[in-house]
A and B are shown apart, each in its own frame.
Chain A
């Protein structure tokens, strides 16, 4: 995220008097004529990206090269990957989803025990229409982009449903109404959450981050996702996350807006070199903590099955802490942060710990993936494995259950008021496991890392200052 001179940023956020004065006409003068909306021409009709391209030329073509369209990218910070191959939701095999766009392509689920069926798949969350699918290119792909799902504040989400075309293909509807088109602007939180809130099988499953005023200080200040994830040419900056591999090549961090020494407190600022901002400012986590793809659970009401999931509410669980330098260990049974105290680039960072059980190939040791259609209908998980294996051309395999641990970055649900203070970590049995993080017992004692002597006087001085009137 670009860093702005603080004075300018503060003025912009506060609404500098000079900017306001320019907008207010002198008293007694006639009201200025309303400026025509730049999107007024849309009232004549909206034909999809072709209409947007009248002013935003070239954007559709550029969008096809983003992670939102491709669901994949080259990945340079994860062990064991082919640098020439692109990875992401399109093709990853891991245990948070266990399906992907390839093996769990949008399709009709077979009828379940109640005679019900539905059309579903991983790539239902894609800003295309499925006829032009994940990673497709060319003019038809450009025409299929659903600009309004992200950019319209009046998008009718009921139109974004999968359906079967007369020629038997599966498509996803879009709202291309004039009403939706006339309400375009920067994406709001709801635009992003229409997909990102429900990743992994339902609301708040994946990260458990409820981006609302109750849970996040940025949401409380009416900030939106794109205020931090500010796109450049539709490429979205993201942080480093052992679980999220695909990226648009742009990175963001708290320091991008807040600077490296953001506290009015030298003691807190002294921590920022080795402690990630999230460690103190996101002391909780939430979302699913475990899933079992080898045994699905039947919803007796609907007759559909789903992976057995252990859910936790937003901000209801404690993260684990590890050194993280941005690079990722990737093995069949662990996807997690790399780093150490000795590595100057590493910082102690919080993670949501997740355990997933899925089928591994006993012959190769590799994790297998799953087509969700058969088990969604009948609970037959091995049928799902077999279907995925057929899609991928895997013939010789022996499925056995196994566990994988995944570390999820914990970068939302930011708090200022409930941030960790000295007395949370520098105590016996405090938040941080110092020994595990590479601090020998002797050093802990010598530096009093678990002693109130380290912080008592400073914290009490702060509290006296707060109470002083």
Chain B
């Protein structure tokens, strides 16, 4: 019985691992906003950040309401330095964190 239980458990573990969604790797970037393109419906935007270290330009899809609001009233605008974390979802880099560094 013990052998049967152990086999069943192993099988269950293998199945779980096989169907589990892999955790998405998160990248981060400190960069300056080079451009902000708001969608016509205002529900998303693409901000291009120029990576302060690598010098490359990274397009970031922004979908959270708070950040979109900051784009609309220019609390965040071109030239601002931004700390951004993002996940690769298909061919998009989707922001999970998009803020100006803090401080007075």
Give chain A's interface residues, CB within 8 Å of chain B. Answer: 97, 99, 104, 120-122, 124, 155-159, 190, 194, 200-203, 205, 299, 301-302, 304, 306, 372, 376
Residues of chain B contacted by A120 (CB below 8 angstroms): 103-104
Tell me whether B103 and A190 are in contact (CB under 8 A). Answer: no
Tell me whether B81 and A302 are in contact (CB under 8 A). Answer: yes
* Nearest B residue to A299, CB-CB: B101
* Nearest A residue to B104, CB-CB: A201
| Interface 0/1 of B41-56, CB less than 8 Å to A | 0000000000000000
**Which of A120, A122, A157, A200 has the most B CB atoms < 10 Å from its CB?**
A157
How distant is the Cα of A423 from the Cα of B42 in the complex, in angstroms?
Answer: 46
Tell me whether A376 and B103 are in contact (CB under 8 A). Answer: yes
How distant is the Cα of A3 from the Cα of B41 in the complex, in angstroms?
Answer: 42
How distant is the Cα of A376 from the Cα of B102 in the complex, in angstroms?
Answer: 12
How distant is the Cα of A69 from the Cα of B52 in the complex, in angstroms?
Answer: 38
How distant is the Cα of A400 from the Cα of B86 in the complex, in angstroms?
Answer: 43
| 9 tightest A-B CB contacts, nearest first | A202-B102, A158-B77, A158-B74, A301-B30, A157-B74, A156-B74, A157-B75, A302-B101, A306-B103
Tell me whether B73 and A157 are in contact (CB under 8 A). Answer: yes
| Interface 0/1 of B77-89, CB less than 8 Å to A | 1111101000000
Tell me whether B104 and A122 are in contact (CB under 8 A). Answer: yes
Interface secondary structure of A, over-half rule:
loop
B8 shortest CB reach to chain A, Å? 42
Classify chain B's interface size.
Answer: 10 to 19
- Choose from A157, A159, A301 the contact partner of B101 (Cβ within 8 Å): A301
Residues of chain B contacted by A201 (CB below 8 angstroms): 102-104
- Choose from B73, B79, B83, B101 the contact partner of A155 (Cβ within 8 Å): B73
17 pairs from A and B in contact (CB 8 Å cutoff): A99-B104, A120-B103, A155-B73, A156-B73, A158-B74, A158-B77, A159-B74, A200-B104, A201-B102, A202-B103, A205-B102, A299-B101, A301-B30, A301-B83, A302-B83, A306-B102, A306-B103
Tell me whether B73 and A304 are in contact (CB under 8 A). Answer: no
Interface secondary structure of B, over-half rule:
loop
B71 shortest CB reach to chain A, Å? 10
A304 shortest CB reach to chain B, Å? 6
Tell me whether A304 and B74 are in contact (CB under 8 A). Answer: no
* Nearest A residue to B74, CB-CB: A158
Residues of chain A contacted by B78 (CB below 8 angstroms): 158
How distant is the Cα of A194 from the Cα of B70 in the complex, in angstroms?
Answer: 11
A216 shortest CB reach to chain B, Å? 16
Residues of chain A contacted by B79 (CB below 8 angstroms): 158
Residues of chain A contacted by B30 (CB below 8 angstroms): 301-302
How distant is the Cα of A127 from the Cα of B74 in the complex, in angstroms?
Answer: 18
A300 shortest CB reach to chain B, Å? 9
Residues of chain A contacted by B102 (CB below 8 angstroms): 201-203, 205, 306
* Nearest B residue to A200, CB-CB: B104
How distant is the Cα of A156 from the Cα of B75 in the complex, in angstroms?
Answer: 8
B17 shortest CB reach to chain A, Å? 34
B53 shortest CB reach to chain A, Å? 9
* Nearest A residue to B102, CB-CB: A202
B18 shortest CB reach to chain A, Å? 37
**Knowing A301-B83, A302-B30, A302-B81 touch, does A372 contact B74 (C-beta < 8 A)?**
no
B26 shortest CB reach to chain A, Å? 15
How distant is the Cα of A274 from the Cα of B73 in the complex, in angstroms?
Answer: 44
Tell me whether B103 and A304 are in contact (CB under 8 A). Answer: yes
* Nearest B residue to A311, CB-CB: B102
Tell me whether B101 and A304 are in contact (CB under 8 A). Answer: yes
* Nearest B residue to A156, CB-CB: B74
Tell me whether B73 and A190 are in contact (CB under 8 A). Answer: yes
Known: A200-B104, A306-B103. 18 other contacts (CB 8 A): A104-B104, A121-B104, A122-B104, A157-B77, A158-B77, A158-B78, A194-B75, A201-B103, A202-B102, A202-B103, A205-B102, A301-B30, A301-B83, A301-B101, A302-B30, A302-B81, A302-B83, A306-B102
Residues of chain A contacted by B101 (CB below 8 angstroms): 299, 301-302, 304
How distant is the Cα of A157 from the Cα of B77 in the complex, in angstroms?
Answer: 9
How distant is the Cα of A378 from the Cα of B75 in the complex, in angstroms?
Answer: 27
How distant is the Cα of A200 from the Cα of B81 in the complex, in angstroms?
Answer: 20
Residues of chain B contacted by A301 (CB below 8 angstroms): 30, 83, 101
* Nearest A residue to B29, CB-CB: A301
How distant is the Cα of A122 from the Cα of B103 in the complex, in angstroms?
Answer: 11
